[in-house]
Amino acid sequence: MTDGHFRQISFTINDRERRLRVDIRKSLAEVLREDLGLIGLKQGCGVGECGACSVMVDDVLVDSCIYLALWADGKQIRTVEGEARDGKPSKVQQAYVDEGAVQCGFCTPGFIMATTSFVEKCKGKNVSPGDIRKAHAGNLCRCTGYQNIFTAIEKSIESD
């Protein structure tokens, strides 16, 4: 590979500043998993359809599989690993545990990030079941049948 395929970028990830030399062709998901070892996010479809790789970039939920790492330069990134504080799960993470909203767990990190984003955006607002479903439409689960996930989302909204 020629040097023209690499760029130096800087970003904050889970409240930690980082500088990396990245291949401009790599997705954010690839850099987070392969270069930084943040394996909480999963690489599912690779085309932005399943939501397993969801992270927040400047408080906007994105599918990191279709978001180039280069675009993260100067941004604030949050992954599922960064949601726990002082060794304790976030309210959203705890709601998923309490409601048994996981089976194989592959989709769970993306769902947790989608729920976190949703809860932060809907503070103080009345939320309908339709709002919850619409906000999570980009996240797919093949195991649970969704009911426990939606119960965990509702619990996350109530506890906030």
Residues 10-69 pLDDT 10s: 999 999 999 999 999 999 999 999 999 999 999 999 999 999 999 999 999 999 999 999
Please report which confidence band the pLDDT of residue 160 belongs to, taking 50, 70 and 90 as the band edges. low
13 CB burial (10 A radius; 0-12, 13-18, 19+): buried
pTM: 0.93
Q: What is the pLDDT of residue 145?
A: 81
Rounded average pLDDT over 71-77:
98
Q: What is the pLDDT of residue 79?
A: 98
Q: 75 and 98 in contact (C-beta within 8 Å)?
A: no
- By three-state DSSP, how is residue 30 classified? helix
Question: What is the chain's mean pLDDT, rounded?
Answer: 94
Q: Taking 50 as the threshold, does the pLDDT of residue 1 lie above it?
A: no
Q: 93 and 84 in contact (C-beta within 8 Å)?
A: yes
Q: What is the pLDDT of residue 159?
A: 74
Q: How far apart are CA 132 and CA 95, in angstroms?
A: 15
Domains of the chain in start order, with CATH, are: 3-81 (3.10.20.30), 91-159 (1.10.150.120)
Rounded average pLDDT over 133-155:
92
